[in-house]
Amino acid sequence: MATVRLPDDPSFEQLRKQAKDLRDQARSGTSDALALVGAHHPDGPHPPSLAGAQLVIARRHGFPSWAALKRHVQTIQRYRRVPDQVDTATSHADEFLLLACLRYGHDDEPARWRRAAALLAAHPGLTTTSVHAAAAAADIDALAGLLAADPTLAAAEGGPFAWEPILYLAYARHAPTIPADAVVRAARMLLDHGADPNAGYLWHGLTSPFTALAGALGGGERGQPAHPAADALARTLLSAGADPNDAQALYNRQFGSDDDHLRLLIDHGLGHGGGPWRTRLGDAIPRPADLIAGQLWWAVAHDLADRVRLLAECADLRAVFRIPDGSPAHLRVWNGSTPARLAALCGSTQVLEYLGAYGAPWSTADGVDALIAAALAGDCATVERLRGHAGTARRQRPGLIVWAAARRSWRAVPLLAELGFDVNALGRGDAPLEQPWETPLHQAAAADDVTGARLLIGLGADPNIRDTRFGNTPLGWAEHFRHTEVAHFLRPLTSQ
């Protein structure tokens, strides 16, 4: 059983060094090393050989053997790509691909994609020399000619990112009006010649594949756009065998309120089976049931009632959440919660109402949970009655006021301040998890909410506090998002 999660983007050489260090430390009698050996070696605590120390390191990370750990790391290295760090091109075709595709870096911007379109217009012949550029441009004639000459090009890795052609097609964003028919024909031509509908890569070695399907559906933490022919391309890939249990596609799209992608994936078997990436990477890829639970968790926490209704087709809304052991500790605090309890403690009133009608209500027993739920709902009478639980509530959810501000629950903010929650607390606004990221005022600035910002300033919010991830004040956030109204309000209040 794993006791330490394997690091992201693991180094096999570093793991080998750990095994050698463990062997040497155990031989010298170091108590921690001997205890580690005892916890994972069948012979108990003893000075192991190098092979024995390697077995301990493997089992510590949840692998049955050193060979299994080595295969896993080699698989990650095989598919590891860093597209956001590639900045050189040796041909017009590669330069076009560098500019045209989503890379999930800071330069995923329309201006870059327009430069790609201009380059293609200036050098239309570049698609005739590169199957990867022909795929990205959905140039049917060029693609047909290249594949006729060499059918193996359909699955050949190449271009600036060492991707297969179908990935360049799926991640291209240079042509917002590209006809869906051309995109589908290009995809089918590649698939008919042996392209893998589950083609993908591991961004910086993270074990969540960026597949062709994920590229087609788009989305992400910065709101990256879907492919212009997203629905048609995704349906083509799914019909050809793409796994609908696509963790990265689900994650990227969960931030919006649109659910078309989810309907499509459910229709094609989301929640059942398992594809080649789980075969390659084992439990590093979530089980289909865990993907469904994760989507339900997000939908409930963010009061996405329509999404919860959709997920009710494949999830038990009465069952408790089972957060996998490998998940971060701040997420596991919700392990054992029902969807209804999560809804109540996140202020998700629409979801809570739906769950009650569905037959999965929340028990409103008195206590800390009831106080938090009442505060987020703006229920002054219940808050007053349960005020005695405020100290425990503050210890359990110190960043709750940040969450309330992010949800723009301005009725809740004064109630929480009255209960002693710090209006300058650092917390997370994107998820109900306790991590010291930003203040409530940062959230008001991000939402361009002058009313909320005025309320927070009136309650004692300090506009000069910087968030811990980007080092910016609320004014800095407002200016980053080009929110002129709230920036105008915050500017005279912020020290220069």
DSSP secondary structure, 402-445, as one string: HHHHHTT-TTHHHHHHHTT--TT--B-SSSS-----B-HHHHHH
> Average pLDDT in the 79-88 region?
96
pLDDT in tens, 317-363: 999 998 776 666 667 788 889 999 999 999 999 999 999 999 999 98
Do 238 and 107 have their domain in common?
A: yes
CA distance 388 to 303: 28
Q: Is residue 286 part of a domain?
A: no
Tell me the CATH number at 318: 1.25.40.20
Residue 82 structure tokens: 């860093």
pLDDT in tens, 234-260: 999 999 999 999 999 999 999 999 999
Range in 97-111, 227-241, 315-329, 475-489 with the lowest mean pLDDT: 315-329
Determine the pLDDT at residue 365. 75
Percent of the chain with pLDDT over 90: 91
The count of structural domains within the chain is 4
Laid out side by side, the sheet with 210-211 consists of 80-81, 200-203, 210-211
Q: Is residue 389 part of a domain?
A: yes
Is the confidence at residue 4, as pLDDT, over 90?
Answer: no
Percent of the chain with pLDDT over 70: 98
Q: Is residue 247 part of a domain?
A: yes
Do 71 and 167 have their domain in common?
A: no
Do 435 and 411 have their domain in common?
A: yes
pTM above 0.85, yes or no: yes
Compute the mean pLDDT over every residue in the chain, rounded to the nearest whole number: 95
Do 61 and 110 have their domain in common?
A: no
Determine the pLDDT at residue 408. 95
**Residue of 253, 246, 139 lying closest to 190 (CA atoms):** 139
Do 238 and 98 have their domain in common?
A: yes
Do 51 and 91 have their domain in common?
A: no
Q: At which of 358, 378, 412 does a domain end?
A: 358
**Confidence class for position 222, pLDDT limits 50, 70, 90:** confident
Q: Is residue 2 part of a domain?
A: no
Do 109 and 202 have their domain in common?
A: yes
Do 134 and 256 have their domain in common?
A: yes
Q: How many CB atoms lie within 10 A of CB 442?
A: 30
111, exposed or middle or buried, with CB in 10 Å at 0-12, 13-18, 19+? exposed
Q: Is residue 5 part of a domain?
A: no
pLDDT in tens, 12-45: 999 999 999 999 999 999 999 999 999 999 999 9
Determine the pLDDT at residue 326. 64
pLDDT in tens, 396-433: 999 999 999 999 999 999 999 999 999 999 999 999 99
Do 161 and 221 have their domain in common?
A: yes
Do 155 and 32 have their domain in common?
A: no
For the chain, counts of helices (H) and of strands (E)? 29, 3
Q: At which of 62, 81, 100 does a domain end?
A: 81
pLDDT in tens, 193-202: 999 999 999 9
Determine the pLDDT at residue 121. 97
Do 124 and 99 have their domain in common?
A: yes
pLDDT in tens, 437-464: 999 999 999 999 999 999 999 999 999 9
Determine the pLDDT at residue 1. 57
Do 447 and 464 have their domain in common?
A: yes
Q: At which of 23, 48, 81 does a domain end?
A: 81
Range of the domain at 21: 12-81
